[in-house]
Chains A and B, each alone.
Chain A
Amino acid sequence: MTTTDSPPDAKPGRLKPPTRRRNHGDTERGFSRVFRWITTGSGAFLLLVLAAVAVFLIARGLPALTASPEELSGKGGLPTGMNSLWDLVGPLVFGTLLAAAMALLLATPVAIGIALFISHYAPRRAASVIGYVIDLLAAIPSVVFGLWGGRTLAPIISDVWVWIAGVLDFLPFWTVNVTNTGRSLATASVVLAVMVLPIITAVSREVFLQTPTLHEEAALALGATRWEMIRTAVLPFGRSGVISAAMLGLGRALGETMAVLMILSPGILYSFQIFDSGQQQTIAAFIASRFAEASGLAVNVLIATGLALFVITMVVNMGARAIVARRKEFSGAN
């Protein structure tokens, strides 16, 4: 290729050049250099896309942020009775966080259970079958979850919600309302939980499998039962991994659109009535339901709510990173 590729026997007496070449970065020649550019380009491209999205959201959302209350309720298509953007974005952010938090609350314990079963309890063959099924669950499109949740799950699960509301009836200061259709945030959260289950399970399983065998055997040698071994060796080791898994799931739950759109009877309120209809709405589903008919300033309003979702997702992810980084020292991973 080049002159440096000349046969070694041409300069028999010198031994140093190879090392020096490496010191000067000469391992990068030919395609190796091109490949370096490709990977650098890919990394830069990712940042570029993110920046482009951020710029788009800010630029197109700005007219809604600066518009007067009259314009917003007129052309901006704010629901009647609202006169500032925050009246709309606030309840939407609330609904989005509530739905995602409930989904996570339901999904994480189950996901840890499945992951532990696969990594520590199941016979090898059963473990691989279950792992396969979990991956399959991740491949189901969200619109299918939406159809299933709206048409099959909601009518069935509504009986459960009615029962729970009846049990909670003793609360003196709070009446629990419940809808007979099952199209409530509670149902939407259950479906969201099913959707984030695969992602949390898959990551947790990988982390649990990496528990040093020495730790586990040490625990067993000290007379621990298998549950005690998991509690003292596996869970502390996997904690940061499980947290980042949950945060990945949270990211999906925050942005999920179709399933919520097809299941929930929305309303734009700050409300903890999770079994009733017409109470909450998530940002993503709100945008999807309104965008088709929106024009002019109404589009800017929708994009401004999208900006809010973008910020929330970023904050959540940064928070997750911070937690993981802080826990790393205690996890025993190093």
Chain B
Amino acid sequence: MKPRPNYLAGFGSIVWLLVVILPLYVLVSASFQTRQGYGTDGPLAVPTTFTFENYANAISSGFGLYFVNTVIVTVAVVLIVVVLVAPLSYAIVRSRGRFATGVFRLFLLGLAVPSSAVIVPIFYLINVVGLYDNLLGIILPTAAFALPVSTLILSGTMRDISPELYEAMAMDGATPVRTFFRLVLPLSKSGISTIVVFAALQAWNGFLFPLILTQSDSTRVVTLGLFNFQSQYGVNVPGLLAAVMLSMIPVLLVYLFARRALVQGLMGMGGK
């Protein structure tokens, strides 16, 4: 591509850079300042104090447990999504007849269901099966709502597997199970890593289902912990922002090490 200078967009991009960076700067710098230091220096100043105390306080006031809960929810959601979506996408791509198309349409329709619109029935269902205030109660609906986008992503990847490979497997008399494990899964690695990241992000950053389906401290996840933390210690800005930092660290690590899968996973979010 021949670079065409675009001054308007270039100028806009610098302004927007400031808008994005300024809050992040305050977030990082405040989380390492003492409460008094932050109070006197103000958010935008160069900090004069330095401490890890905010992080230690956040962890000891419950964030350690919230973190463990969120990890459990995230891992479980990812497992459910991968275990359900991989065979589903295989069936959508390789099954004969109308059935596969019908299932695919159903999941396309599912894309249009906003999770917040069905929180009342989900609250009802989870209560009926006795999973209220239980991590499993968060896990099941979170996984369900990650399915449509994941199915779109993974069936897209699986469609790119060349038909000749399937035919070669069929010539050798391979069963669908063998074809799935020996051919489809190994060749769908990129799609699978995308849906892993997508499902993990949904679970890690999810707020709605924990908000309505849990109440006690022992089942609290990080996002809900932040919300509660704010209502209780809203005036302790450095403490609050250290908690925000803690909640982002795992995602930032993924961003550093698996950027491609993350970007694709985030784009998948568009379906929500």
**A and B interact physically:** no
